[in-house]
Amino acid sequence: MTTKYTYNVRSWTNTITNTHFSQTLTYNLNGNIGTQQWTQNGKTRKYAFTYDNISRLKAANYTGDGNFSTGYSYDAHGNVIKLTRYGITASGVSDQIIDNLTFNYDGTGNQLKYIADAGPNVGLSTIADFKEFSEVTTSEFTYNKNGAIHIDLNKGQTVNYNSLNLPQEMLINNTSARGKTYYTYTATGAKLRVKHLSDPTLMVTPVKGTAEDASYRVQTSTDYAGNKIYENETLSKILTDNGYIEDSNYYFYIKDHLGNNRIVANAAGTVVQRNSFYPFGMTYGEESDLEQGKQPYKYNGKELDKMHGLNWYDYEARYMDPATIRFTSVDPMAEKYYSWSPYAYVGNNPMRFIDPTGMIWDDPNVAYKLKNKIDKKIESLKKDIADNQASLNKGGHSAKKIAKLEDKISDAKSRISNLNVSKGDIDKLGADQNNIYALSSISGGEHKVRQGSDGKIYIETSSDALSIHEIAHVRQSLDAGGLKFSPNGELKNSGIGIKGISNMEIEAYQKQYSLDESFPGRLNGRAIQGIDVHSVGNITDDKGRRVYEIIYQYSEAIKKAIKVNQKK
């Protein structure tokens, strides 16, 4: 199977073409997607999108078979206050309203108080519309002290969380189903195990819903061991970069521009799963329960947890409910977007942005913003040069002061030169026809480049300076003949030999330093000139372990050679 892509002059996806799925996008001048037309399962469909003045999606007007239109309105913080959704209400009927929601908040912030639904509760097992099992208008939702949903009366749900604010124990008990789920994670939040206990007498409609007692006679478990998925302690799937292996058979994802898995096909090209999505990720529910359950990775390639009617997407740092188009807990990086609700999904512009980890969204314009920051730093450094030069010209300084001013001027000039190279690096990546790059944020001072399962190259950092550092590594690799990744998907250093490897890291740290003077090693008062094989080789992590052992050994070899030469 071959998938072809075309792009417009701004490197935005224009068309995606595959035997089983094709898509055409048009754009507004500000970069928002104006229309999306796609052909899948022999049907051609189209959404025309409208936005408010701050690019929040207001409506997705549908044309094609049936009616899957949606409409949205928000408060000033980006909390949804009205939502209408059309779809399937009975077998063969797909043009009726299924959700007509009014959202009410606590009055002091962004937390839900209750949701009123003037639409029906669809009885089909394939439809995951909002189910109003509670009609309480005082308080249907309760949150824990960290801002995560603790009680949801509509689902009959109670959730307890661990120290990372991730679900640890979940009870669902309503008129359609009863069950309890336990979650196990690593210390860093990676999911290891999910165990479900269910009442078999209330598992007729899994998408609608299903506490530990004798009635929970059905127990299932899912274990996550790297890219291996075990169901009930038996190997079920091995995840690959663009699909998975199951029972010795290869299955492949065919994705749209957001990385949504629209088609799952086997190696023979036979389609085993088809997915069509509303803008915020809820599936149309046109296909059978058997087909929908073939594999769980759907919207943005995220795992959809349907058991007991949960219907939440796992975004790693938190979960998202596509029926209410909100995250279920606050953004761990909420302080970066204080003007937005910490529960809003991608600024309410889901056709343009994605959220790789539940912490920050992938903005195609972020590269332009980074270049603007570089330009501002260059102007600031030019002013510093002018001020220091004026001080030199004025005279009256000691020799020591003169040397210090000259060093500052030299350092600023070197930083400007590096920053101009970094701007060129950003342009080079943007012009790369073989790869799609995404800048995203991770915490803790970490930084890396990895290839995602969707084929994108993710540049994951915790600061703009570290983004420049990793972008330099990508450019180095492109210049060396192409990107090469380790078995765990991380970009390899493209240097040849120990000297080449050292030079690659030295250059990347010099680019990083040039933006904000950050460097994890010791410069010994030499500013950018202090970033060399010795300072880089001696960088250690928070446990005192050397980060670049091979560069450290090279540094020691150089020192030893210098001592030998001095004795001659």
Q: Which residues pair with 244 in a beta bridge?
A: 239, 251
| Whole-Å CA distances, 514 to 236, 422, 529, 556 | 49, 10, 11, 26
DSSP label at 20? S
Four-residue CA torsion sign, 185, 189, 194, 199 = positive
Give how far Cα 104 sits from Cα of 20, 70, 265, 280, Å. Answer: 42, 19, 42, 20
**What's the rounded mean pLDDT across residues 326-345?**
86
How many whole angstroms separate alpha carbon 275 and alpha carbon 446?
A: 35
Percent of the chain whose predicted confidence (pLDDT) is above 90:
66
pLDDT, average across residues 305-330: 94
pTM as predicted: 0.68
- What residues form DSSP beta bridges with 188? none
Average pLDDT over residues 161-171: 95
Task: Tell me the pLDDT band of 361, cut-offs 50, 70 and 90.
Answer: low
pLDDT band at 445 (very low <50, low <70, confident <90, very high): low
What is the residue type of 401?
K
End-to-end CA distance of the chain: 67
Sign of the dihedral defined by the CA atoms of residues 490, 494, 499, 505, in that order: negative
pLDDT (average), residues 175-189: 89
Strands 447-451 and 326-327, by their bridges, are unpaired
* 545 token code pair: 């372990």
Q: What three-state secondary structure class fits 213? A: coil
% of the chain residues with pLDDT over 70: 93
Q: Are 310 and 329 in contact, with CB atoms under 8 Å apart?
A: no
Query: Of 431 and 378, which is predicted with more confidence?
Result: 378
pLDDT in tens, 250-288: 999 999 999 899 999 999 999 999 999 999 999 999 988
To the nearest 10 degrees (0 to 180), the angle between helices 497-516 and 399-430 is 110
Q: Residue 235: pLDDT above 70?
A: yes
State the pLDDT confidence band at 138, using cuts at 50, 70 and 90: confident
pLDDT band at 208 (very low <50, low <70, confident <90, very high): very low
- The pLDDT, as a whole number, for residue 207 is 39
Q: Which residue has the tokens 């022999």?
A: 42
The number of CA neighbours under 13 Å toward the Cβ of 280 is 30
Ranges 1-15, 158-172, 415-429: which has the least confidence: 1-15
> Residue 446: pLDDT band by 50, 70, 90 thresholds?
confident
What pLDDT is attached to residue 16? 94
**Average pLDDT in the 435-444 region?**
78
Six-digit token string for 387: 């001020």
The pair phi, psi for residue 414, each rounded to 5°, is -65, -40
Exposure b/e, 267-286, CB count within 10 A at least 16 = b: eeeebebbbbbbbbbbbbbb
pLDDT category of residue 319 using cuts at 50, 70 and 90: very high
Decide which of 234 and 542 is more confident. Answer: 234
Instruction: Report CA Rg, the chain.
Output: 27
pLDDT of residue 477: 94
CA count, 13 A, side-chain hemisphere, 359: 14
Can you tell me the mean pLDDT for 156-184?
Answer: 92
Q: Are 85 and 278 in contact (CB under 8 A)?
A: yes
Q: Does the pLDDT of residue 191 top 60, yes or no? A: yes
Judge whether 74 and 80 are in contact, CB under 8 Å.
yes
CA dist., res. 303 & res. 287, Å (int) = 18
Please give the average per-residue pLDDT across 20-27, as a whole number.
96
- When mean pLDDT is compared across 108-122, 180-194, 441-455, the lowest value belongs to 441-455
Query: How many whole angstroms separate alpha carbon 401 and alpha carbon 396?
Result: 10
Rounded to 10°, the helix 366-394/497-516 angle is 80
What's the mean per-residue pLDDT of the chain?
Answer: 89
Instruction: Report the range out of 209-218, 269-278, 308-317, 489-498 with the highest average pLDDT.
Output: 269-278
Residue 417 scores a pLDDT above 60: yes
- Which pLDDT belongs to residue 431? 74
Place of tokens 């001095």: 566
Q: Using CA atoms, how far apart are residues 233 and 248, in angstroms rounded to an integer?
A: 17
Over residues 467-500, the pLDDT tens digits come to 999 999 999 999 998 999 988 889 999 999 999 9
Q: Is the CB of residue 66 less than 8 Å from the CB of residue 88?
A: yes
pLDDT in tens, 46-103: 999 999 999 999 999 999 999 999 999 999 999 999 999 999 987 767 789 999 999 9
Mean pLDDT of 171-191: 89
Contacts (Cβ under 8 Å, ≥6 apart) of 401 = none
Distance of CA 446 to the CA centre of its chain: 16
Residue pair 147/111 in contact by the 8 Å Cβ criterion: yes
Q: What is the pLDDT of residue 447?
A: 86
Average pLDDT over residues 543-548: 91
Q: Please check whether residue 530 is in contact with residue 509, taking contact to mean a CB–CB distance below 8 angstroms.
A: no
Mean pLDDT of 535-545: 92
What DSSP character marks residue 535?
H
Residues with Cβ within 8 Å of 390's Cβ and at least 6 positions away in sequence, in order, are none
